[in-house]
Structure 1
Amino acid sequence: MRKDTFNQKSVYIHMDNVINNVVTSGITFCDFMQGVTLPPENILLIKHHIKDSSYNTHTAFDFLEASDLQQLKTHPGLQLGEFCWIDFEDIDLVNQLSPQEVAEMLYLAHTGRHLRSPFYYKLQNNFVYLTKKDGRYNKTYYRNMNHFYAVLGFVVAKKTAAILNEKTFLSLNKRKYVKSPSMDLLKRFSAYFKEGACIAFAAAEKTRTQIRIPVGVQLDDDIIELEHTGEEIAYSKIIAHLVYDLKKNEWTCLEK
């Protein structure tokens, strides 16, 4: 692992509600851990480059416990690279996995596709997290999609705060807080997320009273392109703006 600055501004989302997975770009593991309402207690590492981890002899997988995850969570600039994991409740449950289930997990990490349900009864997992380049192109399975909207709300607030607190010649040192938009507001875009959408922080407009962030659709390229390049993907149509009122500290949506 190496420490580096992840500076991609915009967030790209492609959602599949049938199998509850979301492909994103612009959301890192640290964002996930800080935003999710039910953080994983332990994670089984299917592919990774983390040195300080424990080893499970039954599956030949490494794993991280709650204290390890807390340390990763507090290093937002850490680049994890290839990072694939499944959460679990107790190591005794991991020791009950069959060879077939272990093989399915290896296939899942290798191809990014599931053979059967990625939610294992023995593990009681809520998530499957798959990436070759963390933050650039992530595919995450959510047992409950509300967890995704919680993560997205955290990221929207974080990136908006970064715009609000950009240093200028006359700026003060006091950083301003931005609250997260509600799940209900974000869910209004669910139909667009299914087709692929961009929350375009790179094109956000800031005035004295508000910040307006375009939501674009009809992306010119597939999101996977962001795994290989840091350039923003263009979109052909703006369908709405997320608007943060600086005086009222409230989010609204202006649809076109």
Structure 2
Amino acid sequence: MKKELSNQKSIYIHMDNVINNVVTSGITFCDFMQGVPAPPENILLIKHHFKDTSYNAHTAFHYLESSDLKQLKQAPLMKFNNFCWVDFEDVELVNQLSPQEVAELLYLAHTGRHLRSPFYYKLQNNFVYLTKKDGRYNKVYYRNMNHFYAVLSQAITRKTEEIVHEKSFLMPNRRKGVAVPPSDLLKKMMKYFKEGACISFAHAEKSRTQLRVPIGIDFDEDLSELEDSSEELTYNEVAAELVYDLKRSEWIYIEK
């Protein structure tokens, strides 16, 4: 049975290591920008609804520069519907894109699929970010997959803080920061991410000393269902647990 989500807690992940893309639910653009080791300096907007942007006449795409991105990552999630972009180093490189490459970018934004490599020599891009509803169903291509684990680490930290501090809003000075889970620890779940997995904060168990978060696998439905639904997918098996020691501020990974 599905459970209606008013405020999504869990993180869903389906990874394709062959073409370096990751489909996620529960990870936002803000998580991405705060977690990625080398945030993009400029982004070429291949689908968007923003007003304050710069315009590139050669491609007819709009774009945002570094100063714009600092403001954008603080914006409400509702502004990120149909938010698709690719990063680039310099506008002069954008002006070198061929009509074929512009067409490929349009196809990426329209279908969420690549025709050729999504990493363009001319743009020197490290990412392609595709979403219709940011944080609910995102597809991101990473040139370096280590960057994904850094983003995931940020999202896990944020969601852990929400649970650990949910009853401490009256005593903010007593809040203790949550340790960031190491990327090497999260990589132990890679085999489950390849088939589709859920870091189920919705079913986390908290005691005085620990927070235990199950890693769910074997879904009855494809993760693509999350794109058009506001419901939680049900998993049939718990493969592992991600455990946070509240006293030691340490993360532990336990296989079932």
Q: TM-score, normalised by structure 1?
A: 0.94
Structure 1 position 58, deviation (Å): 0.3
Contact 2:9 2:200 in 1 (8 A): yes
| Structure 1 residues 130-175: Cα deviation after superposition (integer angstroms, max 9, x where no partner) | 1111111110000000000000001011100100001269x62233
Contact 2:46 2:62 in 1 (8 A): yes
Contact 1:30 1:76 in 2 (8 A): no
**Distance in 2, Cα, partners of 1:17 & 1:213:** 25
**Distance in 2, Cα, partners of 1:27 & 1:225:** 16
Partner of 2:171: 172
Contact 2:77 2:134 in 1 (8 A): no
Give matches, 1:23-38, under 5 Å.
23-38=23-38
Partner of 2:225: 225
Structure 1 position 57, deviation (Å): 0.2
**Distance in 1, Cα, partners of 2:77 & 2:180:** 21
Give matches, 1:113-152, under 5 Å.
113-152=113-152
Contact 1:83 1:133 in 2 (8 A): yes
**Distance in 1, Cα, partners of 2:220 & 2:53:** 40
Give matches, 1:10-21, under 5 Å.
10-21=10-21
**Distance in 1, Cα, partners of 2:63 & 2:152:** 26
Structure 1 position 78, deviation (Å): 4.7
Contact 2:215 2:239 in 1 (8 A): yes
**Distance in 2, Cα, partners of 1:94 & 1:146:** 26
Contact 2:127 2:140 in 1 (8 A): yes
Aligned-pair identity in percent equals: 70
Structure 1 position 77, deviation (Å): 4.6
Partner of 2:3: none
Partner of 2:81: 81
Contact 2:48 2:82 in 1 (8 A): yes
**Distance in 1, Cα, partners of 2:68 & 2:96:** 23
Partner of 2:96: 96
Partner of 1:235: 235
Name the amino acid aligned to 2:134.
Answer: D
Contact 2:198 2:216 in 1 (8 A): yes
Question: For residues 79 and 8 of structure 1, do their structure 2 counterparts lie closer, same or farther at Cα, with a shift above 3 Å needed?
Answer: farther
Partner of 2:181: 181
Partner of 1:3: none
Structure 1 position 76, deviation (Å): 5.3
Q: Please state whether the residue corresponding to 2:194 is helix, strand or coil.
A: helix
Q: TM-score, normalised by structure 2?
A: 0.94
| Stretches of structure 2 lacking an aligned partner (at least 5 in a row) | 1-5
**Distance in 2, Cα, partners of 1:212 & 1:230:** 25
Contact 1:36 1:148 in 2 (8 A): yes
| Structure 1 residues 207-227: Cα deviation after superposition (integer angstroms, max 9, x where no partner) | 110100000000121112112
Structure 1 position 75, deviation (Å): 2.9
Q: Which runs of 4+ in 1 moved over 2 A?
A: 74-79, 171-176
Partner of 2:158: 158
| Stretches of structure 1 lacking an aligned partner (at least 5 in a row) | 1-5
**Distance in 1, Cα, partners of 2:81 & 2:105:** 19
Structure 1 position 119, deviation (Å): 0.3
| Structure 1 residues 47-73: Cα deviation after superposition (integer angstroms, max 9, x where no partner) | 001111110000000000000000012
